[in-house]
Amino acid sequence: MSSEKFIRNNTALTTLIAACLVVLISLGVRQVFGMFFIDFNKDLGITNTEFGLAIGIQMLGWGLTGPIFGAIADKYGGHKAITLAFVFYIIGIYLLYAGPNTGIFFQINMGLFIGIGLGGTAISIPMSIVGKHFPLSNRTIAMSIVTSVGSFGYFISPLYTTYSLNNNGWVETLFIFMIFLIFGFLIAFFVKSPTVNQSIEKPNDQSTLEALKEAMSNRSYVLLTAGFFVCGFHITLVGTHVPTYVIDRGLEGWTAAMILSLVGFFNIFGSLFSGYLSSKMSKKIILSAIYLLRGVSIIFFIFMPASNISAFLFGASFGFLWLSTVPATVGIVAHIFGTKFLGLLYGIVFLSHQIGSFFGAYLGGLFYDLYGSYDYAWYLAIFLSVFAGIIHLPIKEKAVLRLQVEN
């Protein structure tokens, strides 16, 4: 195992690099929508609840189309699924930029079109394609590289967006985002699935329906899917509502941008560390620890006196735990079922994540409009941390009998 090459062929290397760039662009644009709320509220008349609903629809669209793009990628190739998704993403940003972009059109543009675009361009599909190129021994490390590079987009995007919103306004900022997405569309052609000769697994004749039945009857897969709901709730609550939350507590707008940048910066290291640990020890223990530590980070953030120091500590700590769940989660799915239908099966797990994201976005805005505070949303996030920390422990990290017989 120690002599096994990390990069097995040129297609694997090209796919890894291209997937990293696709995720960097896709997540970099997605991360900063919360920073546009004040401008959308002033110029388009979007309320907090309407904005939260749009982000919630976006998260559901992202999740519901993830398995569809995953199935397309598994059957026809990753590049076809990702380029198709980029078309929807670009249309959504263009309509937000040029209009119509108020009322129901805001929900369609920000929610539906961008949500569909994220379903194929954000982390799940590019990462599942990368996972098909790497064996179990170093798969989580390869996938953590994709996550960490995507996190660099999280880091630089809030800084750039703050500058652009202040100097160029939200309309021109969206236009620049559209240019980046077109660049991502072109890069996506290089995210190639392995050929039959390049595949790391023995060919099998399992059908899509058989793969779904096998997964749904597996208790560990069901628990993993339920736990990933919490990940979605956490990161969307933070990414969408922290900018307003810190300003409400008397801090400056640049502090909110700095929190999001710190999330991205420290997630680079958290993702790589999680990917490395996942190749050395139990992935379910890693996931359980991550969720419990998220709860601790939130507790300190909301109960400590408001200050730039406490805000930055939250950004760094929560950032370290941000997408560090992903390599271990995808790794468990691939370990249990193999990689033939990894795009589809992880897409279903990610759908649960996005249902959680919907509630994180929508309930955050709803609680704020009802009670003038995000407190109840934070309390729910803490409870869910404990729930996720417990529910991962019964998972069995063991390949299904079919794979054991094949090997």
Q: How far apart are CA 119 and CA 81, in angstroms?
A: 10
**Which of 9, 16, 404 is CA-nearest to residue 195?**
9
Residue 206 falls within a domain, yes or no?
A: yes
Residue 315 falls within a domain, yes or no?
A: yes
Q: Give the dihedral sign, CA 256/261/266/272.
A: positive
pLDDT of amino acid 1? 40
- Confidence band for 3, pLDDT divided at 50, 70 and 90: very low
What percentage of the chain exceeds 70 in pLDDT? 96
Residue 4 falls within a domain, yes or no?
A: no
3-class SS string, the chain: CCCCCCCCCHHHHHHHHHHHHHHHHHHHHHHCHHHHHHHHHHHHCCCHHHHHHHHHHHHHHHHHHHHHHHHHHHHHCHHHHHHHHHHHHHHHHHHHHHCCCCCHHHHHHHHHHHHHHHHHHCCHHHHHHHHHCCCCCCHHHHHHHHHHHHHHHHHHHHHHHHHHHHHCHHHHHHHHHHHHHHHHHHHHHHCCCCCCCCCCCCCCCCCHHHHHHHHHCCHHHHHHHHHHHHHHHHHHHHHHHHHHHHHHCCCCHHHHHHHHHHHHHHHHHHHHHHHHHHCCCCHHHHHHHHHHHHHHHHHHHHHCCCCHHHHHHHHHHHHHCCCCHHHHHHHHHHHHHCCCCHHHHHHHHHHHHHHHHHHHHHHHHHHHHHHCCCHHHHHHHHHHHHHHHHHCCCCCCCCCHHHHHHC
Q: What is the pTM of this model?
A: 0.81
Domain assignment of residue 309, given as a range: 10-406
- Confidence band for 4, pLDDT divided at 50, 70 and 90: low
Q: How far apart are CA 371 and CA 44, in angstroms?
A: 24
pLDDT of amino acid 240? 81
pLDDT of amino acid 279? 85
Average pLDDT score over residue span 365-393: 93
pLDDT of amino acid 198? 66
- Confidence band for 2, pLDDT divided at 50, 70 and 90: very low
Stronger pLDDT, 117 or 264, i.e. the higher one: 117
For the cut 90, the answer to whether the pLDDT of residue 26 exceeds it is yes
Residue 251 falls within a domain, yes or no?
A: yes
Residues 364, 356: contact at Cβ < 8 Å? no
pLDDT of amino acid 199? 67
Q: How far apart are CA 309 and CA 317, in angstroms?
A: 12
Residue 5 falls within a domain, yes or no?
A: no
pLDDT of amino acid 342? 87
Average pLDDT score over residue span 260-289: 90
For 319-378, what is each residue's pLDDT tens digit?
A: 999 889 988 998 899 889 988 888 889 889 988 988 898 899 889 888 998 988 899 999
Residue 1 falls within a domain, yes or no?
A: no
User: For position 307, which CATH number holds?
Assistant: 1.20.1250.20
pLDDT of amino acid 34? 82
Number of domains in the chain: 1
For the cut 90, the answer to whether the pLDDT of residue 283 exceeds it is yes
For the cut 50, the answer to whether the pLDDT of residue 55 exceeds it is yes
pLDDT of amino acid 380? 96
